[in-house]
C-alpha cells in the first residue's frame, strides 16, 4: 500500500532529575553535597532511507516516543542519557509541525538526518547548589520535559522528471517503455493511483529519475479527482513531460486538454509553470492524430512538440534527450514553505500566549499560570523547608513576585498555582 501522508504524535525524552545526596566517608569530615546530574532525554531523529518507498510504517505507529534520561546518581555520577529514537523514512519526506504547518525537516539525501524533537535537559544535582551561605543544600533540579507535538509527515516523490497529463494519455506506457519500472497499465481512467518511479537512460548514456504521476482532471488544483494528492509530488520535479493524447480518444480535444492541464499547474502553485516542459504528442498511430496535431501547432506555434507512439516505443529517445538537456541547465526548485519560496503566502497574526498569566478568580484570590510556571515549578516537589526556600528564590529570580504586585496582589492575598495555595507576603 502506497502511503504518502500521515499524522503522528512526537514526544522526545524527558530529562532525568538531579539527585540530593551527601558524602559520608570515613576520615572525610563535612563531606558536603554529592548528588549527580540527571541525563538528557533522547531526541527524535528522522533519517532518509533509500530502501523505503512509503510511509506505511508510520501509519500503524502513530505515536513516537524517545527514551527519558536517567536520574542522577551518588558520588556526582551523571545519569544515563536517554537513547535517541531514529525514525527511517523514504527520500523526499517532509516533516511539518501540526499546529503551525512549519517545515522542520526536508530529507532528500540518503542517510540525511534531522532532529525534529529535542529531548529535555537533565536536572542538576545538589552538588551544584553549595555556597558559603548554604553548605548542605537539600534540593536538586528536576529534568526538563522534551519537545512534544503533533506532526504532519508528507512524502513527495523524489524525481527529476514528472509525467503529467489527463488520465489514459499513455504516461504509464511511456514509463514502462523507457525504464524497468512496471506500472499498472489499463484501458480505463485512473489506472495509476499513486506515483511510479523509474530510472531512465538516454541513448547517449545520460540518466535521470522519471515519475509517472496520477492523471489530472479539470479542477484538480481545487482538490477534485486525485487533486492535491497528485500535484504535491510534482514540486520536486525540475522538468515536466506533458503527455497529450493526440488521437483524441473518448471525444477529448488535445488542444483544449493542453490548456486545461497548464491552468491546473498554474492555479495550484505559482512556480509549477516555471519548470520547463517537454510536450509530447502521444498515440500518433490513431486515426485523427495527424489532423489534431496540425490544429495544435496552429494554436500553439511557439511550442516544441515531440511525436511518439509509446505503445510501440516509437519516438521516445528524442523526448528523453530533450529532458536530459533541460535537466542540465535547470536548478532545483525550493520546496513549498521554505524562505526562498514565500511569494503569495498570506500571514495571519496570532497573539503569542503570555509566559505568565495572573487572574483574580475571586476577591483576594489569584490564579497564577502560564508556560513559564509549568516549566519552572513542580508543586509535588514542595516537601521540605529547603524546597520552599528554593521555590521563593526562584519566584524572585524570575520576577514573578513583581508581576504579582503589578497585577494588584496585596499582602495577605492568596495565590494559587495548580492545586497549591500560598499567602503573598511583602
- Which residues are known binding-site members for Mg(2+)? 172, 192
First-to-final CA distance of the chain = 66
In angstroms, what CA-CA distances link 101 with 95, 147, 248?
Answer: 9, 16, 42
Helices first, then strands: H and E counts in the chain: 9, 18
Q: In angstroms, how far is CA 285 from the centroid of its own chain?
A: 46
Annotated binding-site residue numbers for GTP? 165-172, 190-194, 212-215, 282-285, 309-311
**Would you call 287 exposed, middle or buried from its count of C-beta atoms within 10 A (0-12, 13-18, 19+)?**
exposed
Annotated binding-site residue numbers? 165-172, 190-194, 212-215, 282-285, 309-311
Given the DSSP bridges, would you call strands 63-65 and 5-11 parallel, antiparallel or unpaired? parallel
Q: DSSP letters of 326-350?
A: HHHH-PPPPPTTSGGG-TTPPP---
In this structure, how many other beta carbons lie within 10 angstroms of the beta carbon of residue 296?
21
CA Rg value for the chain: 31
Q: Fill in the DSSP letter of residue 205.
A: S
Amino acid at each position: 500500500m502506497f502511503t504518502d501522508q500521515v499524522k503522528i504524535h512526537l514526544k522526545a525524552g524527558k530529562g532525568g532529575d538531579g539527585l540530593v545526596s551527601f558524602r559520608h566517608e570515613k576520615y572525610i569530615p563535612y563531606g558536603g553535597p554529592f548528588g549527580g546530574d540527571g541525563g538528557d532525554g533522547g531526541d527524535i531523529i528522522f533519517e532518509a532511507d533509500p530502501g523505503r518507498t512509503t510511509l506505511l510504517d508510520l501509519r500503524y505507529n502513530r505515536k513516537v516516543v524517545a527514551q527519558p534520561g536517567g536520574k542522577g546518581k551518588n558520588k556526582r555520577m551523571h545519569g544515563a542519557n536517554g537513547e535517541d529514537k531514529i525514525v527511517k523514512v523514504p527520500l523526499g519526506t517532509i516533516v511539518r509541525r501540526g499546529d503551525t504547518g512549519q517545515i522542520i525537516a526536508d530529507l532528500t539525501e540518503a542517510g540525511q538526518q534531522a532532529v525534529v524533537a529535542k529531548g529535555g535537559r537533565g536536572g542538576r544535582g545538589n552538588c551544584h547548589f553549595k555556597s558559603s551561605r548554604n553548605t548542605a543544600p537539600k534540593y536538586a533540579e528536576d529534568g526538563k520535559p522534551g519537545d512534544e507535538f503533533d506532526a504532519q509527515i508528507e512524502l513527495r516523490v523524489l524525481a527529476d522528471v514528472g509525467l503529467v497529463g489527463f488520465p489514459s494519455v499513455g504516461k504509464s506506457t511511456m514509463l514502462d517503455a523507457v525504464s524497468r519500472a512496471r506500472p499498472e497499465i489499463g484501458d480505463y481512467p485512473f489506472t495509476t493511483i499513486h506515483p511510479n518511479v523509474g530510472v531512465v537512460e538516454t541513448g547517449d548514456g545520460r540518466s535521470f529519475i522519471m515519475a509517472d504521476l496520477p492523471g489530472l482532471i479539470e479542477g484538480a488544483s481545487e482538490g477534485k479527482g486525485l487533486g492535491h494528492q497528485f500535484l504535491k509530488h510534482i514540486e520536486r520535479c525540475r522538468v515536466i513531460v506533458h503527455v497529450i493524447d493526440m488521437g483524441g480518444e473518448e471525444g477529448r480535444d488535445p488542444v483544449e486538454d493542453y490548456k486545461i492541464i497548464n491552468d491546473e499547474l498554474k492555479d495550484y502553485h505559482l512556480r509549477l509553470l516555471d519548470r520547463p516542459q517537454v510536450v509530447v504528442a502521444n498515440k500518433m498511430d490513431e486515426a485523427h492524430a495527424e489532423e489534431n496535431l496540425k490544429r495544435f501547432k496552429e494554436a500553439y506555434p511557439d511550442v516544441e512538440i515531440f511525436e511518439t507512439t509509446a505503445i510501440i516505443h516509437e519516438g521516445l529517445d528524442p523526448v528523453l534527450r530533450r529532458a536530459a538537456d533541460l535537466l542540465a541547465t535547470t536548478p532545483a526548485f525550493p520546496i513549498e514553505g521554505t524562505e526562498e519560496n514565500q511569494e503569495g503566502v498570506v500571514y495571519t497574526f496570532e497573539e503569542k500566549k503570555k509566559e505568565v498569566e495572573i487572574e483574580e478568580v475571586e476577591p483576594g484570590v489569584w490564579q497564577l499560570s502560564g508556560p513559564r510556571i509549568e516549566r519552572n515549578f513542580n508543586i509535588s516537589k514542595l516537601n521540605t523547608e529547603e524546597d520552599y526556600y528554593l521555590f521563593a528564590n526562584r519566584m524572585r529570580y524570575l520576577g514573578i513576585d513583581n508581576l504579582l504586585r503589578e497585577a494588584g496582589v496585596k499582602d495577605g492575598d492568596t495565590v494559587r498555582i495548580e492545586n497549591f495555595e500560598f499567602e503573598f507576603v511583602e
